[in-house]
């Protein structure tokens, strides 16, 4: 699924990869792929991550991982960093999710009573990136669907997600709700529907696999 | 990963500009004014332009060429004190002029670049600059709503650039350039030098290339950029 | 003319802080966090503090020392994800926490430093972050009023400083530091190196010394600043 | 009068000197005087002006004069430059004037129908510097008083001026109106009152001269 998500990145894009699974997308981009990776704590042009032994103590990404620059990197303050996001210069963000609704609402920052560490930069990424994709397991650890008719959890932003990459499928958010677009190798449309808490449009044509 | 290359010719980038466009132009006096891009815009001929620039340069310099060629309908600025020609156009009604307090023009442009809607400010609240502006109370204190300003195009002058569009300015040629370079969907930068990717220190970049669409190296530093002898 | 010298000892500058003060603290994770000034503030003992910081560092690091010593009444922040201790204090009611969207916290601090009253923003307008906020319509579109944020004191970590207080940061240790260094009437900077006046290139200063009140050179770069091995 | 105005600058101050007469104040400061001069177009630490022959084409002050840096100068953008002004970091500005009222109102940017080039940074300097002093000839070229009961011209800011340096006198703006504080050598209080279009408090004690 991570490799599939990586193919979503078109040459020349400015991309922010959220904490967790999305961060791993970078490992699936060719070395000479023309892309600009952005991180909220004030950097464009992120290179490969480093182990603590070789790390620069002053150079982390927003998730706290030690990273490297590439030729042409730039460092800037937090206001400028979110200016990139809010002014429309971020072509794509890939985020994790607790829940995604069939209208593209995203909940990924708070589980009342259980987990409320604050949203960090997640609200602005979800609301203002030109395109928001979600990269997540199809169900949570307890097996509950994350793709739902409506989100029960507090939203990060409404109607923001356009595509979801899971371990089972690639699903688009359309005006008619969730549409199955691609399947993971060995998965059937019925498997995906069973794990999804909302109706799924399934095309008549053969469904590509990844 | 590698960062994309945004080097283009001046003619190719100026061709993007259309009649009726709003255009931010960097510079405060001569320093930081993209003289070569301005000359190319005169040659290109786009009309009915709205220019946003701190000042109108001096007669026969910088954006005065665009005023003289009749390409400018409206000018959003802070003062025209050094350009009697621009004042004449304004007084005759041939040029519509909107004056902003200088720091408020800077903040409105910055707000446009930062993707915020407006700032609340008390600057000029008891002067005629407040006329016609929306007033909002916050905790019982009145503020003027100063809306974010964006443009169709920004024309930027930098000292040094790299192919990705990272820009560095020198001395007081910085002024409005870093703000305008964030506040348009089409940002065109002329640079005195374009150096290979990796030669600009990532810590001393003034405008991250992520905001810049096109970079062009100046073929020469013409007399337009020289010290003014008054 | 020569520029004034603002070098002071850490003890002398921290002595300015009083019970009940609001204090901005630079840093995003370890980079840019003024670890030594924080340790000095723990030793100083001022209580009932309001801290403004992007995050709460991790248990046993940075501002967590101030949380552990019970000196902090209120924390204005963006997320506490890496500090379970801070989350515990919040959940038990021992620590009042105000969450802001990260870029909005940055803009509110910048607005404080820029002397403007507030920004109008649509960030989080359809989420629970909008609760209790003033809403203003501009041209028919609703915006949240996000008031400028200032503090009594700002604690800043820089890589290099000069005696006038010009500051330069490195890599991602920049983050909130340049914004906070403008947003308090008492700005205290620790620097890894203080170089003679004139050694910092005036073009690459991140924080002009005009905003800074005290500069102190770190006697050593302690383990507090080191790479975190999780 | 310019030399007298220069003595208003205390060690350690951050000062902005307006276009015209105020700019000349700098020539009366000792070489090693600790002060930080600010100019609106984005610089702190202004050194002596230069003739065009020796000038740096990229280094001007807000009035367009070619200036030099001093050790410790900094360059910044126009937003940061006015952040200095509006956030209270400017201890003193000295400005020119068309009119000053006895309540400290300042008009110095527009003469309707005659002169309206825009205010530039003047509004913010007048409204937000911690202290606003005016440096001006006592009367205009036609001999009309510039110090008046009320300003007839559009204001730059109201109740902002606290002290006025003219060729005739130093005058403070007090809750009771204009107060004569110092006299130019060879000038009498009556001379100053005659050239002033508002009542002038004249102290009983001997008045210092400059």
| Whole-number pLDDT of residue A26 | 87
Contact A60, C174 (CB under 8 A): no
The two three-digit tokens of residue A149, written as one number: 């008719």
| Cβ atoms within 10 Å, residue C39 | 17
Q: Which residue has the tokens 């008619």?
A: A176
| Whole-number pLDDT of residue B225 | 98
Taking the CA atoms of A41, B162, D43 and D159 in sequence, report the sign of the dihedral they define.
Answer: negative
- The percent of residues above 70 in pLDDT, for chain D, comes to 100
State how far residue B72 is from chain C, nearest Cα, in angstroms: 26
The reply to whether B142 falls in a domain is: no
pTM above 0.80, yes or no: yes
Q: Kindly provide the b/e burial profile for residues C123-161, where b requires at least 16 CB atoms within 10 angstroms of the residue's own CB.
A: bbbebebeeeeeebeeeeeebbbbbbbbbbbbbbbbbbb
Examine the predicted complex and report whether its ipTM is higher than 0.85.
yes
Contact C191, C215 (CB under 8 A): yes
Contacts with D154 from chain B: Cβ below 8 Å:
127-128
The reply to whether B141 falls in a domain is: no
The reply to whether B227 falls in a domain is: no
| pLDDT beyond 80 at B99 | yes
Active-site choice (A8, A40, A124, A182): A40
B7 to each of B13, B154, D186, how far by Cα in Å? Answer: 10, 16, 68
Per-residue pLDDT tens for D137-184? 999 999 999 999 999 999 999 999 999 999 999 999 999 999 999 999
CB–CB of B138 and C117 under 8 A?
A: yes
> Which ranges of C84-166 would DSSP assign to H, the alpha helix?
84-92, 102-114
State how far residue B196 is from chain C, nearest Cα, in angstroms: 19
Contact C174, A42 (CB under 8 A): yes
Per-residue pLDDT tens for D105-146? 999 999 998 888 999 999 999 999 999 999 999 999 999 999
| D117 Cβ under 8 Å from any chain C Cβ | no
Tell me which residues of chain C have a pLDDT lower than 50.
none
Compare all CA atoms of chain C with the CA of B169 and give the residue at the minimum distance.
C203
Confidence of residue B164 (pLDDT cuts 50, 70, 90): very high
CA–centroid distance for B21 within its chain: 13
Tell me which residues of chain A have a pLDDT lower than 70.
none
| Whole-number pLDDT of residue A109 | 92
| C172 Cβ under 8 Å from any chain B Cβ | no
Average pLDDT over residues D172-199: 97
CB–CB of C182 and D33 under 8 A?
A: no
Which of C2, C114, C166 is the closest to D86 by Cβ?
C114
**Cα separation of C7 and C162, whole Å?**
9
The two three-digit tokens of residue B56, written as one number: 């109108």
| Whole-number pLDDT of residue D173 | 98
DSSP string, C55-98: B--STTSTTHHHHHTT-EEEEEESB-TT-HHHHHHHHHTSSEEE
CA–centroid distance for A144 within its chain: 20
| Whole-number pLDDT of residue A115 | 85
The reply to whether C194 falls in a domain is: yes
B40 to each of B11, B34, B46, B90, B190, how far by Cα in Å? Answer: 7, 10, 10, 24, 11
Among B210, B211, B215, most A C-beta atoms within 10 A, so best to mutate, is: B210
| Whole-number pLDDT of residue B222 | 97
Interface of B with A in 4-43 (CB under 8 A): 4-5
Average pLDDT over residues B51-65: 98
Contact A140, A196 (CB under 8 A): no
| Whole-number pLDDT of residue D145 | 97
State how far residue C169 is from chain A, nearest Cα, in angstroms: 9
Confidence of residue D103 (pLDDT cuts 50, 70, 90): very high
CB–CB of B210 and A14 under 8 A?
A: yes
The reply to whether C131 falls in a domain is: no
Q: Which residue range forms the structural domain that includes residue B196? A: 10-116+149-218
β-strands C22-25, C153-161: how paired? parallel
| Whole-number pLDDT of residue C109 | 98
The reply to whether C123 falls in a domain is: no
Per-residue pLDDT tens for C189-223? 999 999 999 999 999 999 999 999 999 999 999 99
Among B56, B168, B227, B229, most D C-beta atoms within 10 A, so best to mutate, is: B227
The reply to whether B52 falls in a domain is: yes
CB–CB of C209 and D26 under 8 A?
A: no
Active-site choice (D40, D99, D102, D124): D40
Q: D99 an active-site residue?
A: no
| Whole-number pLDDT of residue D31 | 85
| Whole-number pLDDT of residue D116 | 87
Contact C196, C215 (CB under 8 A): no
Confidence of residue D20 (pLDDT cuts 50, 70, 90): confident
Among C107, C112, C120, most B C-beta atoms within 10 A, so best to mutate, is: C120
Residue of B98, B69, B100 lying closest to B85 (CA atoms): B69
| Whole-number pLDDT of residue C43 | 97
The two three-digit tokens of residue D80, written as one number: 């940061």
* Contacts (Cβ under 8 Å, ≥6 apart) of B6: B163, B164, B165, B209, B212, B213, B214, B215
| Whole-number pLDDT of residue C54 | 98
Structural domains counted in chain B: 1
Domain ranges, ordered by start, for chain D: 2-201
Strands (E), D141-185: 147-148, 161-165, 169-174, 177-183
Q: Which residue has the tokens 């001269």?
A: D209
D36 to each of B170, D28, D39, D72, D95, how far by Cα in Å? Answer: 20, 15, 10, 10, 17
| Whole-number pLDDT of residue A125 | 97
Per-residue pLDDT tens for D63-83? 999 999 999 999 999 999 999
Contacts with C203 from chain D: Cβ below 8 Å:
75
| B158 Cβ under 8 Å from any chain C Cβ | no
Tell me which of 3.40.1190.20, 3.40.1080.10, 3.90.1150.10, 3.60.10.10 is the CATH number of domain D2-201.
3.40.1080.10
């Amino acid at each position: 699924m991570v490799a599939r998500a990586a193919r979503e990145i078109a040459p020349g894009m400015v991309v922010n990869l959220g904490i967790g699974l999305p961060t791993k997308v970078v490992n699936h981009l060719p070395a000479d792929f023309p892309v600009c990776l952005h991180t909220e704590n004030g950097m464009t042009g992120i290179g490969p991550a480093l182990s603590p032994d070789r790390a620069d103590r002053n150079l982390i990404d927003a998730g706290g991982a030690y990273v490297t620059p590439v030729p042409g990197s730039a460092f800037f303050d937090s206001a400028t960093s979110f200016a990139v996001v809010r002014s429309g210069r971020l072509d794509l963000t890939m985020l994790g999710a607790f829940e995604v609704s069939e209208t593209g609402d995203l909940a990924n920052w708070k589980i009342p009573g259980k987990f409320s560490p604050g949203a960090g930069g997640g609200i602005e990424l979800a609301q203002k990136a030109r395109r928001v994709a979600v990269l997540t397991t199809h169900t949570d650890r307890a097996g509950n669907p994350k793709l739902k008719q409506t989100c029960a959890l507090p939203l990060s932003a409404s109607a923001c997600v356009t595509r979801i990459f899971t371990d089972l499928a690639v699903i688009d958010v359309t005006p008619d709700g969730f549409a199955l677009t691609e399947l993971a190798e060995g998965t059937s449309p019925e498997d995906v529907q069973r794990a999804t808490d909302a109706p799924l449009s399934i095309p008549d044509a053969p469904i590509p696999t990844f | 990963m590698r960062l994309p290359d945004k080097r283009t010719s001046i003619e190719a980038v100026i061709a993007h500009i259309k009649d009726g466009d709003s255009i931010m132009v960097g510079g405060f006096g001569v320093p930081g004014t993209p003289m070569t891009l301005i000359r190319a815009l005169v040659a290109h001929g786009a009309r009915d332009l709205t220019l946003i620039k701190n000042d109108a340069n001096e007669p026969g310099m910088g954006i005065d060429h665009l005023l003289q060629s009749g390409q400018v309908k409206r000018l959003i600025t802070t003062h025209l004190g050094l350009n009697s020609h621009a004042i004449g156009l304004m007084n005759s009604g041939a040029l519509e002029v909107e004056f902003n307090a200088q720091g408020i023009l800077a903040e409105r442009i910055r707000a446009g670049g930062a993707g915020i809607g407006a700032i609340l400010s008390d600057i000029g609240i008891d002067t005629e600059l407040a006329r016609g502006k929306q007033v909002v109370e916050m905790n019982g204190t009145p503020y003027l709503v100063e809306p974010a300003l964006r443009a169709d195009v920004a024309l930027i002058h930098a000292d040094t650039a790299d192919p990705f569009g990272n820009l560095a300015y020198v001395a007081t040629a910085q002024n409005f350039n870093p703000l305008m370079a964030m506040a348009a969907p089409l940002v065109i930068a002329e640079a005195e030098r374009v150096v290979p990717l990796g030669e600009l220190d990532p810590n001393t970049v003034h405008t991250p290339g992520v905001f810049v669409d096109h970079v062009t190296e100046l073929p020469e530093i013409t007399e337009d950029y020289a010290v003014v002898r008054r």
